[in-house]
Structure 1
Amino acid sequence: MVHCKSVAFAALPLLIFPSALPAYGQQDRTSALLEEVVVTARKREEGLQDAPIAISAFSGDTLEYRGVTNIGEIASYTPNLTFQNNPSFSGSSNSAAVYIRGVGQKEFLPTTEPGVGIYVDGVYIARSVGAILDLVDVEQVEVLRGPQGTLFGRNTIGGAISLTTRKPGPEFRGSASVTVGDDNRADLSASIDIPLSDTLYSMLSVASFSRDGYVTREDGVDLGDDDTLTGRFALRWLPSANLTVDLAVDATRDRENGPAFTLVGINHGSPIDPDTPPMAVIHNVGANLAAGGPPVPCATPDMPLNLAVPGCYDNRYIQGDDYNAGTAPAFSELDLWGASANISWGLSESLELRSITAFRDLDSQFSRDGDHSPLVISQFFDDLQQEQFSQEFQLLGETQALNWILGGYYFKEEGDNINLLDFSISSFRSGGAFDNEARAAYGQLTYDFAVKWSATLGLRYTEEEKSFLPDQQIISNPFAGSGHPLLDAPFMQAGTRVLPFVEKEIEITETTPMVSLAYQASDDLMIYGSYSKGFKSGGFTQRVFPPIVAGFTAPAGTPDSDLIPTFFPEFVEVYELGIKYASADNRFTVNGALFHTDYKDLQVQVFTSVAPVTENAGSASIDGFELEAKLIPGRGWLFDVGVGYIDASYDELDEATALFSRDNAFERVPEWTMNMGASREFGLDSGAAIIARGNVSYQSRTYNDTFNSPVIAQDGYSVLDASISWVSPVDKHRVTFGVKNLTDEDYFVTGVAGDAFQSQEVVVARPAQWYLTYKIEF
C-alpha cells in the first residue's frame, strides 16, 4: 500500500504549478456555476441572492466535487457552523451535535431537544441519533442561520439544515461510483431512474460505506470503523399538469464498533461538585485496600501512576491516540427507515396547496467502555427506540406585489430509551419512555410596497405536550453490607427506584414572530434587516444518580412527580443586518450578515453527575458576523471564501446551579471559523478536462464542555484538503484522487469529561487520508 503522505504531496504540483497541465480552449465547466442558485428556505423557490436571510447553499454536485459524503462535513465550508459526531458518553457511532451562531445542543437523549433542526424534503428529523445523514442522491443542502421560528418552528433557534433529495425524471439514466482509500475504505453507490409511464417515474439508490477503525483495543476491536448500508426508492407521479405526487421510502443499517474514543486524562482529585460521588477515587480506595494498603486512593494528583497496585485506575491507561485499553462490549447498531409523501396541487396560477406526510422509525443499541480499562469504573449500554409521525399542510398564494403562505403542522413521537450503567459504586437501569406531541399554525407574507422595498411578516403559534415515564432501578450494589453511610445507604440498595415510576407531563405554548425589511439598492445589491424569535422545548433530566428519594435525598413528603427533574424552554431574539451582492454576470458574489442575539432562560448543561444535567440557569448575548464570497474570473478558475465570527458571553448565570463561572466560554463554539478554496479546470483537446482543487478550513480554540476543561479543549487548527479529477467528454466518466487532512493535522473531533467518572476522553480525527473515486453516468 502506498503511504498516504507521499501520495498526497505528489498531488501538490497540480495546485501550485497549474502550468504543468495543458491550457484549454473551450468553455469550462465552471461556467455552469454562473447560473443563479435556487433555494427553498422560505418554502418557495427563489434565487439565493433574492432571499433576505442568511443562508449557505450547496448543490449535490458541489458536495460530491469536494468529497463530502455525509452532512456533518459541510461545517468545513459554512461560517459559524459546528457539526460534530458527538456520542458523549453513549456508544453511538452516529449522534449529531449541531451549533449555528453559538446555539445548539450536544446531548442525544430523547428527553432533550436539538437547537438546530435537520429536515429532509421538509420532514423534521427529531432525534440526533441517526441524524448524520449520508449524502446519497442529494439535490441540495441549505444551511439557514438564525432562528427559523415561523416557517420551521420549535427547536430551530440556532437555525436549520434542509436537505432536498433528487427526484425521479422522465428519462432512463443512472450512475455508479466506487471509492477506495485508507484503512480498507470501500464505498459503493449506484442510482438508476426508470420511467414507468409518461406520468410515473421511479428511482432507486443504494450505497454501502465500509472502513476499518483507527483506534485499536487490546481485544482487537477497532473503534471508529464504518459499516453502513443505505437505500432509497422514490416515485414521482404527474397525473395532471397541476398535480405532483412524490413518494419515497428510505432505510439505513449501521453495524459498527463505536466511536474512536481514547483516554487523555484522569482527574485523581475531587469532583467539581462536592455532592458528586468520585467513582475513580472510590475504586482506587478499594484497590489500595485489596493490595494490603491503607484506605486511601492508590493514585492521587501527586502520584497519578502507581504500578505497585495492579487494580489501580491510573495513568497507565492513557496510551496515545490510537489505543484503547477498554474491555467492556463496544458496538453501535442502528436500523432506521422512513416513508414520506409530498403532494403539490396547483389550484390556480396563483394558488398552491401542499401536503407533507411522513413516518420514521429508529431502532438502535450501542455500548462502550467509558473508563478505557479492564476495570469497572464507567460502562454504558443504551437501547433507543423511537417512532415519529408528522403531517403538514401549506397553502401558498402569489400576486404581483404579494406572496404568502399559511400552514398547519402536527408532530407525534414516542419511544423508549433504556440505559444500563455499570459504575464502581453501583449497577443500575436508567432511562424510560417518552411521548411528545406538538401542533402549530403559522403564516408569513412578503409585500413589495415600493419599487425597491419589500417587507416580510411572519407568526407561528405552537402547542406541545411532553411526558416522561422513568423506569429506573438499582440492579446491584458492590458496597452492600459495608456500612458506608452513603454507598450502603437504604436508598442505594438493589431494587430501589432511582426515580419514581410515575409519568411526568409538561405543557408548552409559545408564539414566535419575525419581521424583515429588504431594500434592492441596485440590480446587484440588496440590503436587509430582520428581527426573529425562536424557542427550544423544555424537557426532562433523564439520567439521575444517586436516587432521588423523598425523606433521603429529597425533602420528606415531596410528591412523586416533583421528584422527576424538568427544565423549561429557552428563547432567542435575533436582530440581523445583511447584504447580498452579485455582479451582473454573476461571476462575483458577496453575502454577509451582522447579528445580535438575546438568549434567555438558557438550558445550561453541566456534567457533574452520571450524565449532563440541564438547568435553566441564565441569559447570554451573542454578537457576530458572517461573510461569504465567490469569484469565477474565467479560464477555469473558481475561488470561494467564508468567514464567521462569534462573541458569546453570559449576561447572567446561576453559578451555584451551573457550577462554572459566567466568564467561561460557550462550549463547542469557536470564536472564528474560516474556509477558503480554489480550483482550476484545464481543458484537453479531446474534450476531457482535469480539475484541481484545494480547500483549507480553520477554527479557533474550542472548549468541549461548559467547565472549559483544558485537557479536552481544542486549540485553533487548520485542515487542508486537496483533490484532482479527470473528467471525460460530456462528463460520462470521472476519476478523482484526493487527500483529506493533507498536512496530517492532529485535532479533537469531540471531547467528554465526566465529573463523576473522573475520566477525560477525546475522539481524535483521522490522520491524512487518501481516496480514489471512479464514477460513471449513463
Structure 2
Amino acid sequence: MAQAHRTTSHVRLLAAGSLAALSLGMAMPALAQEAQAQTQADENISESAREIVVTAQFREQRLQDTPLSITAVDAQLLASRNQTDLSQIAQQAPNVTLNAMGGAYGSSLGAAIRGVGQFDFNPAYEPGVGIYVDDVYYATLTGSIFDLLDLERVEVLRGPQGTLTGRNAIGGAIKLFSKKPSDENSGMVEAVYGSRNRVDIRGSANFILAQDLYARISGVYKRQNGYVDQVDYGCANPGNAQGITARPGSGSDCVIDKLGEKGYAGLRGSLRYNPGDNFDIVITGDYTHEERTNAAEVITRADRVGFPFGGFAGRDMSSYNCGRFCTYANFYAPPGGQVTQGYEMPNRLKFDGYGFSANMTIGLNDSLNVQSITAYRNYRQIWGTDDDFTPDLGVVGQGYNDLKFWFFSQELRLNGKIGDKIDFTLGGFYSDQRSVYFTRQDIRYAGLIQFVGNDPVNADSKAVFGTVIARPIDGLTLTGGLRYTEEAKDYTFVRKNYDGTVSTALGALDGVKATFKGDRVDWRVSADYRFSPEVLAYVTVGTGFKGGGVTARPFDAAQALNGSFDPETVTAYEAGLKTDLFDRRLRLNLAGFINDYNDIQLPLITCASLGSNAPCGARQNAGNGRIKGFELEMQASPIEGLDIDASLSHLTGNYKNIDPRVGNAILLTDPIVTPKWKYSFGIQYRADLGSAGSLTPRFDFAHTGKTSAGRIAAGAPIEYFNAYDIGNARLTWRNEAEDLSISMEVQNVFNEYYTPFRFAAVYLFTGTAYSQVGRPREWAVTVQKRF
C-alpha cells in the first residue's frame, strides 16, 4: 500500500532491471517425499483442494499448518491467471502493492505489504519488503521485476518477518522458488503472439546426466511494442508560440517512439547432485538482458506556474498535454551553462545482469542437517530521464544514469529435531554489497545545476538467528524466534563539473563520505492450536525493521554528514484462522492485525537541525503511527471442475506524532497507508471433452481502491489516484494427454484507464508532473507443448 510521503523527492531515483534466478537445493527428508507424493496426487483433484507445501519457517510445512499469513501460488495457478512477472502477483494478494516503477526509476519494483515498504530504491536506502529467489536474498528493489520463469511456486509472507528473513522484511517477504533438476527427461516449449506485436517464447528442459546427477535449463524471450506515443511537439504543432521546431527525422505522423515497450531475455541453468537423503547440492547460473523504451508515462499536471525557483512565471504549460496515451517529452537539452552543444538523453534503458548460487544440504543424521546457501549477483543498467516531461527548451531537466551493482551473501543453517516434540533452526548470515552510481545531471530548471556524480556505496550485514517450534500437547504448537543483526553503510559523494573540476554548484559535497552503523534484535512468539483436521487458529506477536541509511540527495556537506538515520520498526500483533471445510472443497483463511509503526523515515522540509540552511534533501526518523487491517482469502470447488478463488483486504493507518521538521509536507491527519480496500476473485470451469481433451474458461477480476499520490507541494491538499478495476479472461484447450494446450486471453477486458504512480519531484520548479499509465486492453494466443 502506497505511503503518503513517498513522492517527496528532490531529484530522480535510481533503478535497474534483472531476472534473478538463484537455486534452492534441499535434501529430501521423509516429510518432503510425502509432500512430493501429495503434490503428484493433487494434480488429479480440484484447484482449491490441491495442497501447497511452503518453507516459510525453514522447513517443509503444509500451507494450512503454518501460523503465518501467506499467499502461496503454484505454477499451475500462475499460468491460469496469465501471470508472467512478479508485479502481477499483487492483483490477487491481499494488502500487497507491487508496482513496476516509472521511467525516472529505470526497471524496478516498488513494493509494500500491509502499508509498509519502499518506493525509493537509491542505494542509500533499503527496501521494505524482502525479496528472495530460491532462498537467496535479492538486495535491491532495482532489478526485482522478475519474470516468473520455470517456477514451482511463489510465497507472499504478509507482516514483518524479522526473525525468519531479517532486515528489510518490515512489511513482509516475497519468495520465489524455481523448479529444481529432477530424475526425469522432460521439457516444455511455449510461444505467445498478441497485441502490438507481442512475442513471448519460453522453454525448459530437464535431463538425467548420470546416476544421481541432473540438469535443468530454461529460457525466456519477450518483445512487445509500446503503447504511449512519444510525439515531436514542433512537428505536431508548427508555428507554436514557444518557437519549438520539428526534430530532424520526425515521420509524417510526428511519432518519435513508443514508450512502454517490452524487451527482455533470460537464461538459467542448474546442475543438481542428489545421491540420497543425506546430501543434495544445486549449482545455478543465470543471465538477463533487458533493452526497451522507458516506462509508459504521460504528463498529468501542467500548470501556468508562478513559482519563483525556476523563473517560469506565467509560462503556459497547458498545451504540453497531448492525450491519454501520448507525450511531448523530448529528452533533449539545448546549449546552456556547461553545455556547448545540444544533446539528447536516451529514452531507453539497457540492463545486463548475471548471478551464481550454490545451495547444499548435508544430513548429519536422521534428525540433524546443515544447509549452506552461497550466492553472487552482478548487474549494470544505463538509462536516461526527462524529468520535466515537456518539449519546452527553457525548462530543462535531463539525467543520464549508469548504475553498477554487485552482491555476495553466505548463509548457514543447522536444522534439527529433539524427539517428536521440538524442531529448531540455528543460523548465520553475511552479505557484502557494492554499488557505483554514475550520473550526469542537467538541472537548469532549479538554477543551472549541472554536475557529474560517480558515487560508490558500500553496505554489509551480519546476523545470527534461531527458531524453535515445540508441540507440548496434541494440537498445540508454540513457536519462538530471535535474530540479531549488525549493518553498516557508507556513501561517498562525487560532484564534478562536466570537465572534471569540482562542481561550482555542489562542490562542498565532493569527497564527503556519509556513514551509518547500527544493530537490532528482532523477536517473534506465536501459538497455534488445531481444533480439528479442518480448523487451525493462531496468534502471533513479532517485530521487523527496515535498515538505516544515509541521505541520498544532500544539497551540502552538513546534510550528508549529519543526515544519517536509524532503522524504522514494526511490532505486529496478529490473530488468524485457517480452515479446510466440506471435505476440502472450501478453504477460508482469515487474519486481523495491528502494527505499531515507529521511527518512520520521512523527508524533512527544513535541515536547520542538521546544520544546513540549503534546500533540504534529508530524510530522518520523524514519525510514529499505527496500522490496522484484516485479510480474507477463499478457495472453493463446489462441484467437480469448478474452481473459485477470492480475496478481500482492508487497511487503515494514522500517525501518532510527526517531527515538526517535516513541516506541512505531511500532517497528523494524513493517512499513512492507502488504498483502504482491495478485493479480487477468479473463477474457472474445466469441461471434460473425452477424447477431444478439455476446455477451461477462466475470468479474474481485481479492484484497487483510491491510492494516495501525495501532495503536489507542501501545504497543498493530498491528491489521490482513482480506484480501478482490472478484468482478465482466458480460454484454454488441452488435449486428452495434456501435453498440448492452446490458450486465448484478453487482459484488461474493460479497457480500464488508470495511473498507479506519478513523478512530481520537480513540480515546484517546473509546474509539471507525469504519471505511469496502466496497460490498455490486450489479447494474446499461447501454444504450449510438453515433452
Q: Tell me the TM-score normalized by structure 2.
A: 0.84
Shift in Å at residue 258 of structure 1? 0.9
2 CA distance for matches of 1:760 and 1:270? 15
Unaligned runs of 5+ in 2: 1-41, 233-255, 332-344, 607-613
* Other structure's SS at 2:544 match: strand
- Other-structure match for 1:48: 63
- Whether 2:714 is the aligned partner of 1:701: answer no
- Other-structure match for 2:322: 319
Deviations 1:549-608 (A, max 9, x none): 57xxx8xxxxxx635x22221010000000000126221111111000001100124799
The 8 Å contact of residues 237 and 244 in structure 1, kept in 2 or not, is answered as: yes
* Other structure's SS at 2:737 match: helix
The 8 Å contact of residues 574 and 594 in structure 2, kept in 1 or not, is answered as: yes
2 CA distance for matches of 1:605 and 1:64? 41
- Whether 2:409 is the aligned partner of 1:390: answer yes
- Whether 2:780 is the aligned partner of 1:771: answer yes
| 1:204 alignment partner AA | I
The 8 Å contact of residues 305 and 314 in structure 2, kept in 1 or not, is answered as: no
The 8 Å contact of residues 265 and 711 in structure 1, kept in 2 or not, is answered as: no
- Other-structure match for 2:748: 741
- Whether 2:545 is the aligned partner of 1:535: answer yes
- Other-structure match for 2:667: 661
| 1:140 alignment partner AA | R
| 1:472 alignment partner AA | R
- Other-structure match for 1:522: 532
| 2:429 alignment partner AA | Y
1 CA distance for matches of 2:617 and 2:290? 26
- Whether 2:141 is the aligned partner of 1:128: answer yes
1 CA distance for matches of 2:590 and 2:706? 23
Shift in Å at residue 613 of structure 1? 4.5
Shift in Å at residue 30 of structure 1? 5.1
1 CA distance for matches of 2:152 and 2:425? 24
Shift in Å at residue 199 of structure 1? 1.0
Shift in Å at residue 623 of structure 1? 0.4
The 8 Å contact of residues 473 and 498 in structure 1, kept in 2 or not, is answered as: no
- Other-structure match for 1:463: 486
Match of 2:379 among 337, 362, 376: 362
| 1:441 alignment partner AA | V
* Other structure's SS at 1:316 match: helix
The 5 Å alignment of 1:371-520 reads 371-374=388-391, 375=393, 376-398=395-417, 399-424=419-444, 425=447, 426-430=449-453, 432-475=455-498, 494=504, 496-520=506-530
- Other-structure match for 1:677: 682
1 CA distance for matches of 2:721 and 2:192? 31
Q: What CA RMSD, in Å, does the superposition of the two structures yield over aligned residues?
A: 2.3
Rate the CA distance shift 1:526–1:358 in 2: closer, same or farther, 3 A.
same
2 CA distance for matches of 1:443 and 1:428? 48
Unaligned runs of 5+ in 1: 1-26, 272-276, 285-296, 300-304, 306-313, 477-490, 555-560
The 8 Å contact of residues 234 and 249 in structure 1, kept in 2 or not, is answered as: yes
2 CA distance for matches of 1:745 and 1:73? 16
| 1:721 alignment partner AA | N
Match of 1:298 among 305, 309, 314: 314
Rate the CA distance shift 1:549–1:463 in 2: closer, same or farther, 3 A.
closer
2 CA distance for matches of 1:237 and 1:439? 30
2 CA distance for matches of 1:672 and 1:714? 14
Rate the CA distance shift 1:29–1:684 in 2: closer, same or farther, 3 A.
farther
1 CA distance for matches of 2:161 and 2:202? 34
Rate the CA distance shift 1:504–1:68 in 2: closer, same or farther, 3 A.
same
1 CA distance for matches of 2:528 and 2:297? 48
Rate the CA distance shift 1:68–1:493 in 2: closer, same or farther, 3 A.
closer
The 8 Å contact of residues 680 and 701 in structure 2, kept in 1 or not, is answered as: yes
Rate the CA distance shift 1:339–1:57 in 2: closer, same or farther, 3 A.
same
Rate the CA distance shift 1:510–1:221 in 2: closer, same or farther, 3 A.
same
Rate the CA distance shift 1:149–1:573 in 2: closer, same or farther, 3 A.
same
Rate the CA distance shift 1:382–1:359 in 2: closer, same or farther, 3 A.
same
2 CA distance for matches of 1:125 and 1:400? 35
Q: Is 344-353 or 525-534 further displaced after alignment?
A: 344-353
Shift in Å at residue 496 of structure 1? 4.7
1 CA distance for matches of 2:102 and 2:93? 22
The 8 Å contact of residues 712 and 753 in structure 1, kept in 2 or not, is answered as: no
- Other-structure match for 1:278: 309
* Other structure's SS at 2:776 match: coil
2 CA distance for matches of 1:100 and 1:373? 34
The 5 Å alignment of 1:73-152 reads 73-87=88-102, 89-90=104-105, 92=106, 94-152=107-165
Rate the CA distance shift 1:495–1:372 in 2: closer, same or farther, 3 A.
closer
| 2:323 alignment partner AA | G
2 CA distance for matches of 1:367 and 1:645? 38
Match of 1:600 among 598, 601, 617: 598
The 8 Å contact of residues 169 and 546 in structure 2, kept in 1 or not, is answered as: yes
Deviations 1:162-195 (A, max 9, x none): 0000011211110000111111100001111111
Deviations 1:238-297 (A, max 9, x none): 1344100011111110011111121111354466xxxxx733xx2x2xxxxxxxxxxxx2
- Other-structure match for 1:230: 266
- Whether 2:278 is the aligned partner of 1:242: answer yes
Deviations 1:197-229 (A, max 9, x none): 111111111110000111121351211101101
The 8 Å contact of residues 162 and 522 in structure 2, kept in 1 or not, is answered as: yes
Shift in Å at residue 362 of structure 1? 1.4
* Other structure's SS at 1:745 match: coil
2 CA distance for matches of 1:530 and 1:207? 41
| 1:407 alignment partner AA | G
Rate the CA distance shift 1:191–1:676 in 2: closer, same or farther, 3 A.
same
Rate the CA distance shift 1:366–1:473 in 2: closer, same or farther, 3 A.
same
Rate the CA distance shift 1:572–1:505 in 2: closer, same or farther, 3 A.
same
The 8 Å contact of residues 541 and 613 in structure 1, kept in 2 or not, is answered as: yes
- Other-structure match for 1:38: 53
Shift in Å at residue 753 of structure 1? 1.2
Shift in Å at residue 111 of structure 1? 0.8
1 CA distance for matches of 2:287 and 2:86? 17
The 8 Å contact of residues 88 and 752 in structure 1, kept in 2 or not, is answered as: no
- Other-structure match for 1:562: 561
- Whether 2:653 is the aligned partner of 1:633: answer no
Shift in Å at residue 34 of structure 1? 2.1
Rate the CA distance shift 1:47–1:496 in 2: closer, same or farther, 3 A.
closer
Matched pairs, number: 691
Shift in Å at residue 513 of structure 1? 0.5
2 CA distance for matches of 1:148 and 1:369? 38
| 1:264 alignment partner AA | T
Q: Tell me the TM-score normalized by structure 1.
A: 0.85
Shift in Å at residue 298 of structure 1? 3.0
Shift in Å at residue 691 of structure 1? 0.2
2 CA distance for matches of 1:87 and 1:185? 21
The 8 Å contact of residues 201 and 221 in structure 2, kept in 1 or not, is answered as: yes
| 2:544 alignment partner AA | G
Rate the CA distance shift 1:733–1:562 in 2: closer, same or farther, 3 A.
same
* Other structure's SS at 1:713 match: strand
2 CA distance for matches of 1:723 and 1:35? 21
- Quote the sequence identity (%): 31
The 8 Å contact of residues 30 and 632 in structure 1, kept in 2 or not, is answered as: no
1 CA distance for matches of 2:616 and 2:775? 27
Rate the CA distance shift 1:105–1:588 in 2: closer, same or farther, 3 A.
same
